[in-house]
């Protein structure tokens, strides 16, 4: 029987792909068996999903085949759905089989959090995957066709985006850019279209520099986005949303971007979680399971002020690198490396040629911030796929 340690990585998103690539680089021949499990055979750029969702970029610019990112002689790619993690047995149950592991890396990403708001789970759409954005894109376009078939259906031209955090703002901006095109194509008066961005917190882009928030809102208001800030969605129905103020917005399209939680499989595995996220140690290990590493949106880590790091691609990628190093260290009986987050800054795109950014201790807005966003995207493509991927998927203009 083989005594080679088995490493199983669950999820090929930002954290999982970086872990797999680093393991592939660091492990010697026959030092470990590595299996990467993902529900699709492609890796998608979650940070870019708002564009195909609104229809301002193609689905193909948002994903890449995993086999182009890893060496399948070194890593076994299993396309399947993870259904259960059995910690006591060191097994993972897939839709079509079972895998046993010595070391497990959980990088399954987050799920939308609806905070128990009635009707959101049933009636709102979420920007989470290629399939979900494909649906949103088709749905939006269909609303224009429906309206043209029956112009009394004005709810078809009302779009509600719940949440004005990063993904909400980025999506609203793309939608605002897309609407004029759709109006032209379907011969609809743009003045009849309403885009509402509803946020329960007292500000849009909570936690971001107030001057940049103001700039972002001004840009979006010029694109005719109507903000309802400090207003909670009380209920979502098949007809639209009911706000805490009592106002009802009739809308055939409600997209929820207002919250994210960890994957439910983690709670089901028996880990103690806070909104599905597990508090991991400095080495990215799960409590009481030294052989289980949890990274990305499923992990919970705190900064020096004791505040949790928000779940971002940036932290997931950095964790992926350290996670691979620590799995190799565990196999070799070497010392582990502490994870220390290095904040490279934050950029929020505001549609074509506009963005706000806070990086290198400075604030940026407008065209320059939009270029920064492209640099961030291209840097990621370069890290995972080299210059070839940058040339294929990068957006240069």
Task: Enumerate binding residues for ligand FAD (CB under 6 A).
Answer: 11-16, 37-40, 46-47, 49-50, 81-82, 107-109, 127, 166-167, 170, 263, 265, 296-297, 311-314, 316
State the nearest-atom distance from the C-beta of 294 to ligand FAD, in Å.
9
State the nearest-atom distance from the C-beta of 153 to ligand FAD, in Å.
28
The DSSP string of 106-150 is: E---EEE--TT-TTHHHH-EE--SHHHHHHHHHHHHHHHHHHHH-
State the nearest-atom distance from the C-beta of 140 to ligand FAD, in Å.
15
Angle at 387 between CA 383 and CA 392, to 5 degrees: 105
CB-count exposure of residue 336 (10 Å: 0-12, 13-18, 19+): middle
Of 67 and 81, nearer to ligand FAD (C-beta) is 81
Query: Which of these is catalytic: 111, 170, 174, 354?
Result: 170
170 is catalytic: yes
State the nearest-atom distance from the C-beta of 170 to ligand FAD, in Å.
6
Of 166 and 271, nearer to ligand FAD (C-beta) is 166
Of 242 and 377, nearer to ligand FAD (C-beta) is 377
C-alpha to C-alpha distance for 78 and 38, rounded to whole angstroms: 6
Task: Return phi, psi of residue 6, to 5°.
Answer: -105, 125
Angle at 306 between CA 294 and CA 111, to 5 degrees: 40
Of 53 and 243, nearer to ligand FAD (C-beta) is 53
Q: How many helices (H) and strands (E) does the chain have?
A: 9, 26
State the nearest-atom distance from the C-beta of 151 to ligand FAD, in Å.
32
Distant-in-sequence, close-in-space partners of 12: CB < 8 Å, separation ≥ 6: 20, 36, 37, 38, 43, 66, 77, 107
Angle at 335 between CA 16 and CA 338, to 5 degrees: 55
Of 312 and 358, nearer to ligand FAD (C-beta) is 312
Q: Is the dihedral of CA 7, 12, 16, 20 positive or negative?
A: positive
Of 156 and 376, nearer to ligand FAD (C-beta) is 376
Q: 3-state DSSP call for residue 48?
A: helix
State the nearest-atom distance from the C-beta of 79 to ligand FAD, in Å.
9
Q: Are 69 and 385 in contact (CB under 8 A)?
A: yes
Helix (H) or strand (E) holding 290: strand 289-294
Which residues carry out catalysis?
170
């Amino acid at each position: 029987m083989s005594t080679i340690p088995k490493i199983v990585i669950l999820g090929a998103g930002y954290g999982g792909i970086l872990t797999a690539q680093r393991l592939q680089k660091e492990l010697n021949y026959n030092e470990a068996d590595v299996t990467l499990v993902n529900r699709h055979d492609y890796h998608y750029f979650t940070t870019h999903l708002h564009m195909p969702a609104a229809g301002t970029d193609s689905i193909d610019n948002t994903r890449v085949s995993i086999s182009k990112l890893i060496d399948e002689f070194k890593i076994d790619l299993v396309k399947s759905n993870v259904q259960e993690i059995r910690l006591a047995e060191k097994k993972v149950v897939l839709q079509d089989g079972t895998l046993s592991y010595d070391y497990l890396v959980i990088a399954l990403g987050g799920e939308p959090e609806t905070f128990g708001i009635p009707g959101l789970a049933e009636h709102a759409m979420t920007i989470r995957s290629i399939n979900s954005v494909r649906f949103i894109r088709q749905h939006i376009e269909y609303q224009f066709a429906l309206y043209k078939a029956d112009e009394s259906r004005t709810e078809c031209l009302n779009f509600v985006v719940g949440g004005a955090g990063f993904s909400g703002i980025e999506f609203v901006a793309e939608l605002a850019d897309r609407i004029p095109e759709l109006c032209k194509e379907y011969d609809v008066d743009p003045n009849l279209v309403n885009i509402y961005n509803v946020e329960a917190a007292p500000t849009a882009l909570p936690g971001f520099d107030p001057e940049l928030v103001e700039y972002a809102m001004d840009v979006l208001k010029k694109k005719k986005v109507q903000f309802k800030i400090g207003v909670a969605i009380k209920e979502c129905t098949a007809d639209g949303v009911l706000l805490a103020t009592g106002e009802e917005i009739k809308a055939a399209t409600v997209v929820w971007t207002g919250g994210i939680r960890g994957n439910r499989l983690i709670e089901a595995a028996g880990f103690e979680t806070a909104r599905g996220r597990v508090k991991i140690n400095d080495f990215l290990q799960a409590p009481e399971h030294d052989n289980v590493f949890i990274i990305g949106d499923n992990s919970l880590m705190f900064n020096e002020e004791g505040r949790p790091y928000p779940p971002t691609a940036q932290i997931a990628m950095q964790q992926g690198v350290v996670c691979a190093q620590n799995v190799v260290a565990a196999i070799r009986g070497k010392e582990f490396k502490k994870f220390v987050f290095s904040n490279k800054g934050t950029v929020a795109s505001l549609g074509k040629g506009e963005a706000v950014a806070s990086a290198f201790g400075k604030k940026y807005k407008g065209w320059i911030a939009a270029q920064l966003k492209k640099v961030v995207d291209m840097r990621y493509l370069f890290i995972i796929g080299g210059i070839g991927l940058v040339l294929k998927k990068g957006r240069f203009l």
